Structure 1
Amino acid sequence: MADTVQYRLERMTDELDDLERRGLFTRAELADVVRRRRDFEFRLRRHSPLRADFLDYIAYELRLDALRNLRKRAIIRATAEEDDEDDRHQEDDDDDEGGKKKRKKKNKKWKKSISDIAGTLRVLDIYRIATVRFKGDLDLWFKYLEFCRDKRHGRMKQVLAQAIRYHPKVPGLWIYAAAWEFDQNLNVAAARALMQSGLRSCPESEDMWIEYLRMELTYLNKLKARKVALGEDVKTLQKNNDDSGHWKEENKELFMSLNEEGEGPKESSATGVALEEKEDLFWQQGLLIIQTIYHGAVEALPSSLTLRKKFLEILNSVDLTHSDELKIEVLDDLKKDFSHSEDYWDWFARLQLSDLTGSNPSNRKDVLSNKLNRSVQVYDEAVRKLPTSKMYSLVHFICAEMYENAESCGCLTEDLACQYVSFCLKLERVEEAKNLAEKLCNGPLSNAANLWCLRASMEINSCATATGNSINNENLNSLFDLFNTVLLKLSITETEGLWHMALKLFSHEKIFVEKLVKCAVLSLSSAGGSDSGASVSSAIVGWYLQRDGMKRARKMYKRFLALPRPSLKFFQYCIELEANLAAIGDHDALVNARKLYDSAIDLYPQERELWRNYYSLELKVGTSETANSVYWRARKVLKDSTALTTPRN
């Protein structure tokens, strides 16, 4: 062992002499270097050297070589400054020529010598011994490869071959080797051969298939750039011809015109056709390669969802002609093979939300709304096909994410908020749904009637669940405050559903109904003759009719009719009440019905159906005189002799 160490140290004499001769290290420093190297060599020659021994030796040599390089630069810089100073003191040409010769003589010793390459060779030798000792250490192999790549040493191919021979089932080595051939050695054929050999050795590696596709697409993009530079960018590998022209226009300083004089139109047209045919053939070959890679990957890994997702992501990230057909094929295969997987549906729904950042701010809200709707439709289909707990959990998570994104972008809509709250209820997250609805109703969506309705129904169900089927007075007061807030805030047209909900809830509490009547009067006074207002007022009159009788109901509807421009629909409801009583012989009801008809005709004189109903009432329960009176009034107002003819079914 000592003889071997001594032999290796003696081989360093030329390097050490060169370091001393150049003035990079002193004799004492070189003695310390020799001592340290002797220690490292003995550590490597012992019976069972450790991996750390090799790495420590390599680290020392790298530090030593960095110090040598640093001192070399300092000496060269100092020498250059000294020479510049000498040049300023030269007075004649002869002296100047002598100075140049002197400077040339000084700079001769800084030409590349043995000390410049000895450090690199020694580190390579240590790595070689280490990899022979620790063949299975992949980290050591990659350190070896990285050092060869950084130093651009010719041993790189040999080291790659050795690493692959010892580890043929490691996809990372094949990928590393192909990447070096493609990027550093610029040998596309060798890179493709390495990837294909790696796929034969590791056919179930997703990374191998993905990197092979990425390499081929990168190569196609390089060919695209080459065609653009050569002026052959008719339509190859681009979705829009304007993109290539725009790119070329922005980078016109990179190009040199080869035909400044121009050509005739016939010759130019013929050249264009030839280029198109050439490009079509080229693209067909490129597309065939990509399809072959995809089909080979699917055949090798038929159950890998991640592989196909990555394939689609790569296809979306590049701008290639006819790639849409392949994307559609990938999506169809995904749905056919993974429709039973919750992860597929979750990914496909998230795919609908992609590329939001690229949209125009002016129509960003519409774009987001459309994407959210498509995503919700995907989740609806997923829940119908896979009603599992995992699917519901994924849907809740993405809905929460969609809600947060929409709220942060200022694009939160009433429909999205209601969908999210409803979904929380489906997952039995009642408290979360209640808190969210309260936050939105008191914040950005304070005018969302549907959200208020959803919140009110949740509060009613919560109170009923807490106290049994009946609701105590305390809860009734809190619920009335909630209804009172929204009913006074929003128009009766928007809150028709809330009105009916409140009347049903407080139907057994007269005090609250009377308060609702006061609120309804205020809302109806501004609603005018809307059908929503007629529905609410009819419900209130009906409640009084059932509870207190016709006399009280008559008083209530007269109160509503006294408001500005009551609805025709409400007139018809009140007339129907009175007409039903008049049909059984109630004379007061007939009088009231005639008054209602007269009031309604004053407001809506051209309503033919109203005149027909009035005439029919007089024919049934009135006299011939009153019937003729209505008949002639109608003819005069409507100016039509056939207006009161009852239409046949």
Structure 2
Amino acid sequence: MADAVQYRLERMSDELDDLERRGLFTRAELAEVVRRRRDFEFRLRRRSPLRSDFLDYIAYELRLDALRDLRKRAIIRATPDTTDHDADATDNDSSKKKKKKKRNKGKAKKWKKSVSDIAGVLRVLDIYRMATVRYKGDLDLWFRYLEFCRDKRHGRMKQALAQAIRYHPKVPGLWIYAAAWEFDQNLNVAAARALMQTGLRSCPESEDMWIEYLRMELTYLNKLKARKVALGEDVKTLQKKNNDASTWKEENKELFMSLNEQDEGPKEPGSQGVALEGKEDLFWQQGLLIIQTIYHGATKALPSSLTLRKKFLEILNSVDLAHSDELKVEVMDDLKKEFSDSEDYWDWLARLQLSDSTSSSNLNRMEALSNKLNKSIQVYDEAVRRLPTSRMYSLYAKFWMGVLFADTEDSISLFHGGEFDASGFTSCILKVYQNAESSGCLTEDLACQYVSLYLRLGGLEEAPGRLEEARNLAKKLCNGPLSHAADLWNLRASIEMKSLATSTGISSFSKENLSSLFDLFNVALPKLPIHEAEELWHTAMKLFSHEKVYFEKLVKCAMLSLSSAGGNDCGASVSSAIVGWILQRDGIKQARKMYKRFLALPRPSFKFFQYCIELETNLASIGNQDSLVNARKLYDAALDLYPQERELWRNYYNMELKLGTSETANAIYWRARKVLGDSSALDIPHS
């Protein structure tokens, strides 16, 4: 290993001599450079070099080369000018600029390129090569390598791309990167097209590759169109409604000269125009054929991809090329044929109508918005007729929420500029929910949105009657097919409390109101699984925490629900909350009685054991001996049910270390080793 390192260092001698001879580094600085490079080389030559070793070496070499370049520029600027000493002082500004430019060229000629100018780049490339050989599967390292080659415009770029693709042929990003470099940097369209086609054979299911291939071909067609404009050819068939190029050429026709006017005689203008138009039509037909081929290949490889077709259509709409309307119509027909049973397609199609500007060019803004909205409504109505599903109604309602309210997540900015009044369309969104209910597509989420809409409209319109409508609707839905919807019951409870508070005008409730609210909770809570109705349980406990009669009834109901849950940890929050309320209201003695009642149920949950243990441990830490005894009993009871819980053993042992004696701590330690069969489960006890 030392011989290999020494050999690599000796190969740097020419570079180091050149750096010293040119005055870029002193001998002491070069000695430090050699020392650092030796350290890095030894790190790379060890048995298993780390990725960070290569990156640290590369970072050091880049900083060193940047310092060399900075000092080189400083020396060039400080070089005295030995030419033009006898220049006349009366020279004008233009002659001074010319002389300054000439002097700069003279300085650059004096500093010719040498081995030290290219050695740094070559060394970094060599380190990258070794790193990618060692870590072939590291894509980030490969892209760093490629970016460095591209930035330095080095000839090793092709070799690096070939190696990266050979090791990662199934990574679409590498194929796209290679094709983009060939197209943009190397200006080789044929090579870029070949790379994309080969990549599509390796990754036929990559949407990004198909999209980028289409972008590349369209970019190439645009370049050809610009080239025709520069050559003075008529490109009116390549443009839709833009005659600027033709007008400019007509006004500046003396700038264009025919290249073969000496060989050919004058031709009739009519025949020449027909021939040119035929060539342009043939050119565009070939270009359109390429785009159609890409589209058909993409749809064949990804027949079930809706996003692919949407992106194709977006790209075609973003470019201003003639004869592309036929392909757009074909894409739209394929979308309707293949995805007419998809809710996402209909939602996209309806929202697409809002960006349609073909039929609204001669209308004012209000009429244009109304027309677009009506088109979207027609699409959604057709969608719910064809697909009367819960998701379709949900997307329809979401669209209306974006139209009516500006503070929603999917708000549509077109209708919130101040000119358009969308408040008159509230009946439309209510009709959507009503149709969903009548068709049996009203899910729990839709029902909650339906009820919440009435509450929101009541605040928007300042109509107190909306609250009563929301209350009646929630009551009807909870007593209907959605009687087991926990979120709907929770919403109904909040509406009932808000309605009672609004009617009485005070924050506290009377006995009659509390009785009616308890009847509501008493109907809802036994129906719902305790892990789904946790929020409803907490609301009820908070409401009746100071009403002992109602609270005791809630406790009995909770015990029934917990016994049916069978030790489910999701119900632990309910039992823990009940114990917490009892602790605040009646003290620790009543809280102990309460948690013992819950622990007497079949298989109490592990989380509830943890809560009770933490409660007793906190009291024991402030000197309550009864709490320490109770904590030990709780630990023993929990370990009888959950003997393999390492965390429980560890907490028990730590409690004995802090609050107990060495004998009790040692006893817990050996019990844990015996049960768990692992000597490393707990720390070694202190003697």
Asked whether the 8 Å contact 1:356–1:368 carries over to 2, the reply is no
- Aligned residue for 1:184? 185
Instruction: Tell me, in whole angstroms, the C-alpha distance in 2 between the residues paired with 1:253 and 1:77.
Output: 46
Say whether residues 1:434 and 2:454 are aligned partners: yes
Instruction: List per-residue Cα deviations over 1:346-377 (Å, max 9, x = no partner).
Output: 11112112267998798222222111111111
Cα 1:356–1:238 change in 2 (3 A) is closer
Instruction: List per-residue Cα deviations over 1:535-590 (Å, max 9, x = no partner).
Output: xxxxxxxxxxxxxxxxxxxxxxxxxxxxxxxxxxxxxxxxxxxxxxxxxxxxxxxx
Instruction: Tell me, in whole angstroms, the C-alpha distance in 1 between the residues paired with 2:352 and 2:244.
Output: 26
- Aligned residue for 2:13? 13
Cα 1:27–1:422 change in 2 (3 A) is same
Instruction: Tell me, in whole angstroms, the C-alpha distance in 2 between the residues paired with 1:269 and 1:213.
Output: 36
Offset of residue 87 of structure 1: 3.7
- Aligned residue for 2:417? 408
Asked whether the 8 Å contact 1:51–1:130 carries over to 2, the reply is yes
Cα 1:388–1:411 change in 2 (3 A) is same
Asked whether the 8 Å contact 1:353–1:371 carries over to 2, the reply is yes
Cα 1:264–1:376 change in 2 (3 A) is farther
Offset of residue 266 of structure 1: 6.5
- Aligned residue for 1:22? 22
Instruction: Tell me, in whole angstroms, the C-alpha distance in 1 between the residues paired with 2:323 and 2:454.
Output: 50
Name the larger-Rg structure: 1
**Residue 117 of structure 2 aligns to a residue in which SS?**
helix
- Aligned residue for 1:258? 257
Structure 1 runs not aligned, ≥5 long: 92-98, 443-454, 469-474, 480-649
Offset of residue 257 of structure 1: 2.7
Asked whether the 8 Å contact 1:181–1:188 carries over to 2, the reply is yes
- Aligned residue for 1:83? 81
Cα 1:243–1:466 change in 2 (3 A) is same
Cα 1:464–1:129 change in 2 (3 A) is closer
Instruction: Choose 381-390 or 165-174, whichever is displaced more.
Output: 381-390
Instruction: Tell me, in whole angstroms, the C-alpha distance in 2 between the residues paired with 1:467 and 1:165.
Output: 66
Say whether residues 1:50 and 2:46 are aligned partners: no
Say whether residues 1:158 and 2:165 are aligned partners: no
Offset of residue 458 of structure 1: 5.5
Offset of residue 68 of structure 1: 0.9
Map 1:491-506 onto structure 2 (within 5 A): none
Cα 1:106–1:291 change in 2 (3 A) is closer
Offset of residue 301 of structure 1: 0.7
- Aligned residue for 1:38? 38
Cα 1:333–1:131 change in 2 (3 A) is same
- Aligned residue for 1:171? 172
Asked whether the 8 Å contact 1:178–1:191 carries over to 2, the reply is yes
Instruction: Choose 203-212 or 346-355, whichever is displaced more.
Output: 346-355
Cα 1:107–1:177 change in 2 (3 A) is closer
Map 1:262-411 onto structure 2 (within 5 A): 267-354=268-355, 363-403=364-404, 404=406, 405=413, 406-411=415-420
- Aligned residue for 1:208? 209
Offset of residue 397 of structure 1: 1.8
Say whether residues 1:114 and 2:134 are aligned partners: no
Instruction: Tell me, in whole angstroms, the C-alpha distance in 1 between the residues paired with 2:241 and 2:101.
Output: 60
Asked whether the 8 Å contact 2:225–2:235 carries over to 1, the reply is no
**Residue 71 of structure 1 aligns to a residue in which SS?**
helix
Asked whether the 8 Å contact 1:175–1:195 carries over to 2, the reply is yes
Instruction: Tell me, in whole angstroms, the C-alpha distance in 2 between the residues paired with 1:217 and 1:394.
Output: 34
- Aligned residue for 1:72? 72
Asked whether the 8 Å contact 1:421–1:436 carries over to 2, the reply is no
Cα 1:14–1:384 change in 2 (3 A) is same
Cα 1:332–1:266 change in 2 (3 A) is same
Structure 2 runs not aligned, ≥5 long: 90-99, 407-412, 437-445, 477-498, 504-687
Instruction: List per-residue Cα deviations over 1:72-123 (Å, max 9, x = no partner).
Output: 11121222xx4289948999xxxxxxx9999999765521111110000000
Instruction: Tell me, in whole angstroms, the C-alpha distance in 2 between the residues paired with 1:341 and 1:313.
Output: 19
- Aligned residue for 1:590? none
Q: Which residue identity is paired with 1:305?
A: L
Asked whether the 8 Å contact 1:18–1:114 carries over to 2, the reply is yes
**Residue 48 of structure 2 aligns to a residue in which SS?**
coil
Q: Which residue identity is paired with 2:417?
A: S
Q: Which residue identity is paired with 1:218?
A: T
Offset of residue 204 of structure 1: 1.1
- Aligned residue for 1:645? none
Instruction: Tell me, in whole angstroms, the C-alpha distance in 1 between the residues paired with 2:25 and 2:134.
Output: 33
**Residue 205 of structure 2 aligns to a residue in which SS?**
coil
Instruction: Tell me, in whole angstroms, the C-alpha distance in 2 between the residues paired with 1:388 and 1:286.
Output: 42
Asked whether the 8 Å contact 2:458–2:465 carries over to 1, the reply is no
Asked whether the 8 Å contact 1:65–1:119 carries over to 2, the reply is yes
Offset of residue 391 of structure 1: 1.8
**Residue 239 of structure 2 aligns to a residue in which SS?**
coil
Q: Which residue identity is paired with 2:14?
A: D
**Residue 352 of structure 1 aligns to a residue in which SS?**
helix
Offset of residue 237 of structure 1: 2.4
Q: Which residue identity is paired with 1:402?
A: V
Offset of residue 240 of structure 1: 2.1
Q: Which residue identity is paired with 1:407?
A: H
Say whether residues 1:420 and 2:429 are aligned partners: yes
Say whether residues 1:135 and 2:136 are aligned partners: yes
Offset of residue 198 of structure 1: 0.8
Instruction: Tell me, in whole angstroms, the C-alpha distance in 2 between the residues paired with 1:64 and 1:198.
Output: 38
Instruction: List per-residue Cα deviations over 1:124-159 (Å, max 9, x = no partner).
Output: 111111111111111111111111111001111111
Instruction: List per-residue Cα deviations over 1:264-304 (Å, max 9, x = no partner).
Output: 99633222111110011111111111111111111111011
Offset of residue 382 of structure 1: 1.4
Cα 1:248–1:413 change in 2 (3 A) is farther
Instruction: List per-residue Cα deviations over 1:397-454 (Å, max 9, x = no partner).
Output: 2222233331335212455343235446664445543355446656xxxxxxxxxxxx
**Residue 257 of structure 2 aligns to a residue in which SS?**
coil
Instruction: Tell me, in whole angstroms, the C-alpha distance in 2 between the residues paired with 1:466 and 1:139.
Output: 55
Offset of residue 320 of structure 1: 1.3
Asked whether the 8 Å contact 1:345–1:382 carries over to 2, the reply is yes
Cα 1:102–1:20 change in 2 (3 A) is farther
Cα 1:191–1:107 change in 2 (3 A) is closer
**Residue 83 of structure 1 aligns to a residue in which SS?**
coil
Asked whether the 8 Å contact 1:305–1:344 carries over to 2, the reply is yes
Q: What is the root-mean-square deviation of aligned Cα atoms in Å?
A: 3.8
Cα 1:39–1:228 change in 2 (3 A) is same
Instruction: Tell me, in whole angstroms, the C-alpha distance in 2 between the residues paired with 1:467 and 1:132.
Output: 69
**Residue 353 of structure 1 aligns to a residue in which SS?**
helix
- Aligned residue for 2:219? 218
- Aligned residue for 2:484? none
Offset of residue 244 of structure 1: 3.8
Asked whether the 8 Å contact 1:339–1:345 carries over to 2, the reply is yes
